[in-house]
Amino acid sequence: MFGDTMRRTALALLLVGTLTSACSSDDDRTGGLGSTTKTDVDPCTDVLNHRDSDTFTKGRDAALDMVLAATKSNTPDQATLDGWRTALEAGRDQATAELEKLRDVRNEPEWDDVLAPLSDIVARYETRIKALDADWPIDRATLMAQESDAPTKESLEELGLLGRDCEVLAVDPGPVAGSEEFISRAAITCSAIVDRRSDDGFSDLLEINLGVVAKVYAKETIEPTDEQIESVKALQREWEQTVADLAAIDADPTDATAWASVLELADNRVELYKGRAEALESGDADQIASAYDRSRIGAPGWDWGPLGLQNRDCRTVEA
């Protein structure tokens, strides 16, 4: 049994690959500082929110089980073959329906690359389904179809989708059963936060702040500029809005402790930037050094895994 587990893990790593990283419905999405309220949900977020995790997981597992059986030269019984067929057909049909929702969302050639991993799932399952009618044991090579599970980084960057839900269309199984409402609402909220930050130049503000951090750590004399002070104040305001957005999610979290930790970490960011803004405004070297001390960053880790959000836009809220 242990050997099968190890082989299954190896096959999963081989076939699923590593994750590299929003794409409308009527769900509400809260806007934030400097932006209007958005009521559209990004198509990729919508697809993942409505994906049936059981269908996705059973299809993926059946595809891997077939490769494992072929590798070991096994001859599955008819009940096993029928089970694989049911799982693969359901997984194929779900992926096909999702592709139809997404195909005409954008016209750029890079969009085809973003959707390619989802298309590959359909092709992969079709290949496996055909192999079910072969005489077993079969050559593992007959099961192989196009295998990719993440778009290219170049396409994602070109479309502004790196680290977004569109990156994980072929990887994320969908909301965990029993936590669909929370995961869907949280994913929509995180998507809105990331969109707002992109629109409001959040990365530029971080870059200015990091310039101050570098000088503090190098023990250089700092004469705060208006740009530096205002950028840190803007970061504080953004984190205040982020805290408000996350706290407004009205659904029971998948893991109450993990969710409390997320909210605490976000609160820490507010206090961090508030202290830094006050220190820069004071111009006092010791106060600045204290405000930028590493120990003030707060709890070090964001753990979205227990919440079922580790692949979603929430992972990009961490900066």
> In this predicted model, what pLDDT tens digit does every residue of 282-313 receive, in sequence order?
999 999 999 999 888 765 578 999 999 999 99
Residue 298: per-residue pLDDT = 66
In the chain, what percentage of residues exceed pLDDT 70? 86
Residue 11: per-residue pLDDT = 37
Residue 261: per-residue pLDDT = 92
Residue 214: per-residue pLDDT = 94
Judge whether residue 2 has pLDDT over 60. Answer: no
Residue 12: per-residue pLDDT = 36
- What are the angstrom distances between the C-alpha of 153 and each of 32, 73, 186, 226? 28, 37, 25, 36
Residue 218's CB is within 10 A of a number of other CB atoms, namely: 7
pLDDT band at 149 (very low <50, low <70, confident <90, very high): confident
How many residues belong to the chain? 319
Q: Quick one: 48 exposed, middle or buried, by C-beta within 10 A (0-12, 13-18, 19+)?
A: buried
Residue 319: per-residue pLDDT = 66
State the average pLDDT over residues 190-206: 96
Sequence-separated (6 or more) residues with CB below 8 Å from residue 291: 275, 276, 278, 279, 280
Has this prediction a pTM greater than 0.95?
no
Average pLDDT over the chain, rounded to an integer: 87
Tokens representing residue 287 in the block: 């106060």
Closest Cα partner for 224 from 277, 269, 274?
Answer: 277
Which pLDDT tens digit goes with each residue over 241-291? 999 999 999 999 999 999 999 999 999 999 999 999 999 999 999 999 999
In the chain, what percentage of residues exceed pLDDT 90? 80
Give the C-alpha separation, 56 to 311, whole Å: 15
Judge whether residue 127 has pLDDT over 50. Answer: yes
pLDDT band at 38 (very low <50, low <70, confident <90, very high): very low
Residue 245: per-residue pLDDT = 98
